[in-house]
Amino acid sequence: MNEIQKNNTTSVSSYGSDAIQVLEGLEAVRKRPGMYIGDTSDGTGLHHLVFEVVDNSIDEALAGYANQINVTIYPDNSISVVDNGRGIPTDVKLDDKHEPKRSAAEIALTELHAGGKFNQNSYKVSGGLHGVGVSCVNALSSWLKLIVRRNGKEHCLVFEKGVLQNRLVETVSTGEGNIEISPMKILGETNKQGTEVHFLPDAEIFGDVNFHYEVLSKRLRELSFLNNGVNIHLTDLRAGKEEIFEFSGGVKGFVEFINRDKTHIHPKTFYVNKTIDINSTEKIAVEASMQWTDSYSENFLAFTNNIPQKDGGTHVTGLRSAMTDVLKKYIETNGLSKKEKFDLSGEDVREGLTCVLSLKMPEPKFSSQTKDKLVSSEARPAVESVVRHGLEEYLQENPADAKIICQKIIDAARAREAARKARENTRRKGILDGAGLPGKLADCSERDRSLCEVFLVEGDSAGGSAKQGRDRKFQAILPLRGKVLNVEKARVEKLLASEQITTLITALGTNIGEDFNIDKLRYNRIIIMTDADVDGAHIRTLLLTLFYRQMPQLVEQGHIYIAQPPLYKVSVSDKNSSYLKDDKELDEFLLNIGIKGTKLYLSSEDLNNEVALEGEELKKLFLEYNDAQNVVSRLSRRIDHNVLTAIASGAQINFDSDETIRDSIQQLENALNRSDITFEIVKDSLGIPVILVKRLHYGNEIVTRIPASFVSSGDYLCLTNVAKTFKGLVKSGAVIIRTKGEKEFKKNISNFSEALAWIIKEAESSIKMQRYKGLGEMNADQLAETTMDPSKRRLLKVRIEDLVAADQTFTQLMGDEVEPRKRFIEDNALNAGNIDT
């Protein structure tokens, strides 16, 4: 018997009844989280936790009991969702089989398939269907705190990894005798009502817990449009960002918001909102809006009970079928395409279309718990009927709009036919059929696609260095000469006429547009490697536009990366060189050199007594102070630099009451002692106080804001900690001394900033430093070591976290309209850095 047979025999003999496990309660969620919330490694599942809680609050709004939702990200990456709905029921459920009898809130948070949405008495329409949402959040959190404000009381439960902490047990008398109950802890009385869920996702499950503001803002923006009258406030205390979503207009307003920077070709947006009876007791509400623009890409968003379906479903099929049939019939009936010899397709109808479809229906059926695809069969005929009748009426009542839309469709069909002929022509020439790879491509020898990567390199010079420095086994190099065609302004036939693009398409092997096939991709990683200057950024943007518009699956499936070459090469000696990614790494490198042989005496008394700060203790202080300086530099674009410096020197801000705000302003005025800076207290749309800082600069008034959320941010905490550490630290007679060999260098200082500046200057004088602007400045060995070696390089993975925002950004930067691009530059000019001069 060989080894494999022995192992198999052992496995069979050990497979008995003991091998069958039953996972109780929330244990199953922690064991297999992906089954309930999606991928836990790429951020999808992490953000899904928030959406599950927010959806519960939205369901309260749909039921007519809530109109305010606050979502807050805290510096520790915990997150809270607060609404003003009815509050989760807090009374004890006596028919609960658990001993002791528990509150309804505890059951909802600890039992799978427990909730108030299995019948239609509490919620006619809801996004939560399976009763596993908030219980999954509880199971997958390091801790969760539930506060329910209901019936004049504030109730609380605290959980750790799904387990209730400090359970209360009471004995009550009933008709069946004495029973033990486990009520919620009462914190006190309140005149508010609603539910607050505050939780920290478990790092054991998700690894690095880091919420992305853009992902959350995208979802909350959608919910605001889909639910008129609901005010949603998102606050990020980590960076002091906040946004209020209070959009109106329903899906029509949503479409017009998406197209605000695009050129829409017809003035009146199509909109329909109708409810269909599917039986004697159940109804489906269909709301849809469509508007065509002069662009060439489709933007389609579909929702069921406010839940997005990125994979579509029966409702999307119904809408597209009705839309295509109605528009084709209108074109044929009105003789608008008599001279054309081609058939119109659904793709032609949808070119340049922005569409939002929202369905409200009882108990929809989805393909999975993540609800990415609707499978309810009754949805298709309902949507098809509503859209068909609505669109027919729209075309009849708006003949001018109808003619423009139909002409757009005919032009799209004509362009599709031209593109087909162009593809046939390129196939005859063997350009895109994979028969031959482009001559510029230095291919790799590995045939397993999952191991291969291709570098798209700017210019032949850098391409030559990359070819010499690569690992030929799995790394391919494709040099790109000049600027790539801006595909935002071009149809497929023009793309296929571009040598640069056909070379790239052939190298990747996927083709583009309707012929795109992800299975033919030849490289698992496509790495854009351009210079760190304006031209390099432009080429990078053009390539990203090409991938996003013509090969979106490459972005969606995580195949696109951006190389991160180092900014600096520093040498302490001819044989000892280091590469540094950015300014932060450079600062730490200089500090490591500068503190060697350095002693800081904080006063003349310390000098006399030879009591000095040195080594790691001194480095820690320097880094803390430098971090605060970086915070001031970064925030100065939003909050006046002088005010931030005043906070770092000890002025404190408190928004607890009008009196504490006035006291805060007094502290700032005392610290600044400047007549050109004044303060004013105003309130935002939610009634939350904001301090306005007004400063005169060459006769112009510059106004910045200090929101209440800033006081809870990590940046404010950093500045106040620096104030506590360094205020009064440096006293009279302070001196910093650095010994280098037999020489001693000394500097008298009056504050810590002087000490840091002197140390940095001393370190810079002892090294050679080179700042790279272009890849061509590196030889093959340097390029390989810093940017291509998988064990040392840094790659930035391209992800689309907000499709609406991404679409808007590409339209602003790469579209024909000048005004949106000008506005983008004006809005972001202060945030720009490292711009070539």
DSSP annotation of 741 reads T
Is there a contact between 778 and 786 (Cβ–Cβ < 8 Å)? yes
- Bridge partners of 707? 690
* CA-based R_g, the chain, Å: 32
Strands 568-573 and 576-580: antiparallel
Contacting residues for 327 by C-beta, under 8 A, at least 6 apart? 344, 349, 391, 395, 405, 406, 409
User: Distance of CA 144 to CAs 110, 137, 155, 201, Å?
Assistant: 11, 8, 14, 9
Residue for token pair 């491509």: 441
Helix (H, G, I), strand (E, B) or coil at 626: helix
Q: Could you give the angle at which helices 752-765 and 583-594 cross, rounded to 10 degrees?
A: 90
What is the rounded (10 degree) CA torsion for 55, 60, 66, 71? -20
Residue for token pair 């269907």: 129
Is there a contact between 253 and 804 (Cβ–Cβ < 8 Å)? no
Is there a contact between 239 and 637 (Cβ–Cβ < 8 Å)? no
User: Distance of CA 429 to CAs 426, 495, 520, 521, 555, Å?
Assistant: 5, 16, 20, 21, 29
Residue for token pair 């006429």: 497
Handedness of CA 796, 800, 801, 804 (dihedral sign): positive
From 37, 44, 84, select the one nearest 65 (Cα to Cα): 84
Contacting residues for 121 by C-beta, under 8 A, at least 6 apart? none
From 101, 86, 233, 111, select the one nearest 162 (Cα to Cα): 111
Distance CA 496, CA 426 (A): 8
Strands 101-102 and 177-182: parallel
Distance CA 95, CA 88 (A): 18
- Residue 292: HSE in the Cβ half-sphere, 13 Å Cα cutoff: 22
Is there a contact between 388 and 326 (Cβ–Cβ < 8 Å)? yes
Helix (H, G, I), strand (E, B) or coil at 477: strand
Contacting residues for 489 by C-beta, under 8 A, at least 6 apart? 814, 815, 816
Is there a contact between 488 and 811 (Cβ–Cβ < 8 Å)? yes
Triad 349, 355, 358: Cα angle to 5°: 130
Is there a contact between 103 and 186 (Cβ–Cβ < 8 Å)? no
Distance CA 146, CA 161 (A): 13
DSSP annotation of 461 reads H
Helix (H, G, I), strand (E, B) or coil at 511: coil
H or E element: which one contains 806? helix 803-814
DSSP annotation of 818 reads H
Distance CA 805, CA 194 (A): 31
- Burial (Cβ within 10 Å: 0-12, 13-18, ≥19) of residue 795: middle
Is there a contact between 694 and 677 (Cβ–Cβ < 8 Å)? yes
Strands 453-458 and 525-529: parallel
User: Distance of CA 527 to CAs 288, 478, 509, 519, Å?
Assistant: 39, 10, 15, 19
User: What is the set of active-site residues?
Assistant: 458, 531, 533, 535
User: Distance of CA 229 to CAs 62, 69, 84, 358, 762, Å?
Assistant: 10, 11, 13, 16, 61
